[in-house]
Amino acid sequence: MKTYAGKVRALAGISFTVETGTIFGLLGPNGAGKSTTVKILTTLSRPDSGSAEVAGIDVLQQPDQVRRLIGYVSQKPQFDPEATARENLHLQGRLYGVPHRELRSRSQALLDHFGLGKVASRQARGYSGGMQRKLDVALGLIHRPKVLFLDEPTTGLDPEARASMWSEISRLAADEDVTILLTTHYLDEADQLASQLAIIDHGRLVAQGSPNDLKSELRGDAIQVELTQAGVDDHVRTTLVRLGGVREIVVEGTTVRARVDHGASAVPGVLAALESAGVAVTSVTISRPSLDDVYLRYAGRPFGDDSHHQAQASATTEMEVPGE
Amino acid sequence: MSERSIQHNASAALVQAGNLTLREVRALMRQPFYIAVTLVQPMVWLLLFGQLFKRVVEIPGFGGGSYIGFMTPGIVVMTALFASAWTGMGLIDDMERGVMNRLLVSPTKRGAILTGKLAHIAVSLAVQALIVVLVGVALGARYDGGVIGVLMTIVAAVLLAIGFGSFSCTVALLVRQRESLIAVAQFFTLPLSFLSSALVAESVAPGWIRSVARFNPVDWAVSVSRGALSADPDWGDVLAHCGYLVIMAGVLAWLATRAFTAYRRSV
């Protein structure tokens, strides 16, 4: 548990396990406890009570050992803008005690991997936003960490740079044999990259599973029917209830929302029932449940601009964050 | 901890501090305009104050001699004071960016982070002090103290810079704002300079300033330099003031590490 001055309890017992070589996403609104979780697991902060482990090593007892095992890419840019990409990587490697010869080849490999080879001898301040972010990620990898913490790696990037960063990240887990814990502002990012994710709210873990599992827990697709006229709420509801298999029916003006097990096969029946009841329809939309729906259900409010995601990964065993 | 692992830790910390110092020096070397201004500034002071106060040596009790010769140690020390006042700026930059957190998440020894900043200011001040002395000589200053006197001048400048640089780091770690650090630096630099014998002989200063100056590290540094450069140095006095400077630098550096610990707790 971590209590900041003013006695705000940030975390109240979170525990999760991440399979080696996979990407784990951690989602939750601002203040949910994601950043605190990452800070504790990366040895930046100490919890007031409880324990935390990364790759089987106690974060509180042996922070130095944990530091050698993890890489960290913070939300804020962490490269030195006055130095070149190569100088940045060399300094980082020397701080980790990477032997001279290995450091040179490792730096070159990372520069090539992230497409920074051509600008490696120029000051990083002149790089594009996407290149600077890649340099940040490369800095986190110089010492071949077992676990990499990526704190909102694509926030502030343009769509093209974001797409490019996504492909780098998904390749990383495989190529570098590294377990990645990802936090992000974007639900689609977590959906695309993470094989497992957890939703944190008010310092508690409220849901955990693969994006698909979490979505299928919502049981079924959303259908939305537009009517030609409003004011037939009860009539529509009774008709659909009688049809069976249609749940969570909401009628608002001319819009009807409901959930069905299988959207495509349910729609003909729904349309036929409405028609025979004398209700005219203008359009029908079917949508698979999205992470937004998952989020809405577990966090109890829509996923807004102020929300974040985070993901965490642990190499072998369990990463446990402060219990009470 | 075994003796070997202590040795290993110490050498790792030295390598890390060395590399962090190199980072700062390299960033400095990439700013030729900045270097030019910092080199020209003491020269302007030497020329400007040298002209302005030229006849001050004629005041009874000042002791005669050339004013350039008198003033050069004062300008060296003022240069050290003014330059080291900004040491904390680099820390604020690192804290605002993710650089500080990157260092804290790495196995970098905590001491190496501050040492890097202080070593950088020490190295650049040693070079600057030498240049100012040479410019003073070019303008007509003559020193009987010779090489030893010049070395002691550099030592005094470096010790003052480490002390005041540590103070600047302490302020930076506590307030974490550029504007506040600038205000604090400016609040101290000029009064500390003028409450010393940097520009005017102690003998002609008002009594209360003489009393205050006795506790002013800037005055200690000037005493070391001027004493060691004189024809017949009072080594007892020079070394005593050197000792005060070492203690001052040590205490302020220790305070900076305390402020760093407080900063790390608040991350």
Q: Where does B53-109 have alpha helices with state H?
A: 67-84, 87-96, 99-105
Name the token pair of B115. Answer: 């040492």
- What residues of chain A lie within 8 A of the CB of B16, using their CB? 94-95
Each residue of A111-147: pLDDT tens digit? 999 999 999 999 999 999 999 999 999 999 999 999 9
ipTM for the assembly: 0.90
Each residue of B70-85: pLDDT tens digit? 999 999 999 999 999 9
Torsion angle in degrees (nearest 10) through CA of B55, B60, B63, B69: -10
Query: Within an 8 Å CB–CB cutoff, is residue A97 touching chain B?
Result: yes
Query: Within an 8 Å CB–CB cutoff, is residue B47 touching chain A?
Result: no
Kindly determine whether residue B98 and residue A96, on different chains, have CB atoms separated by under 8 Å: no
Residue A299 and residue A201 in contact, taking contact as beta carbons nearer than 8 Å = yes
Instruction: Give me the pLDDT at residue B2, please.
Output: 67
- What residues of chain A lie within 8 A of the CB of B103, using their CB? 95
- Name the residue ranges covered by the structural domains of chain B: 3-266
Kindly determine whether residue A97 and residue B15, on different chains, have CB atoms separated by under 8 Å: yes
Helix, strand, or coil here: B157? helix
pLDDT for B92 beyond 80: yes
Q: Go through the domains of chain A in sequence order and give each one's CATH number.
A: 3-215+300-321 (3.40.50.300), 219-288 (3.30.70.980)
Q: What is the DSSP letter of B202?
A: G
Query: Within an 8 Å CB–CB cutoff, is residue A45 touching chain B?
Result: yes
- What residues of chain A lie within 8 A of the CB of B106, using their CB? 67, 92, 95-96
Instruction: Give me the pLDDT at residue A12, please.
Output: 56
Each residue of A93-119: pLDDT tens digit? 999 999 999 999 999 999 999 999 999
Each residue of A207-233: pLDDT tens digit? 888 888 887 777 778 888 888 888 788
Q: Where does chain B have alpha helices with state H?
A: 3-29, 32-52, 67-84, 87-96, 99-105, 110-138, 146-175, 178-194, 207-213, 217-229, 235-266
In angstroms, rounded to a whole number, what is the distance separating the alpha carbons of residues A194 and A201?
19
Each residue of B2-34: pLDDT tens digit? 677 778 888 899 999 999 999 999 999 999 999
pLDDT interval class at A317 (50, 70, 90): very low
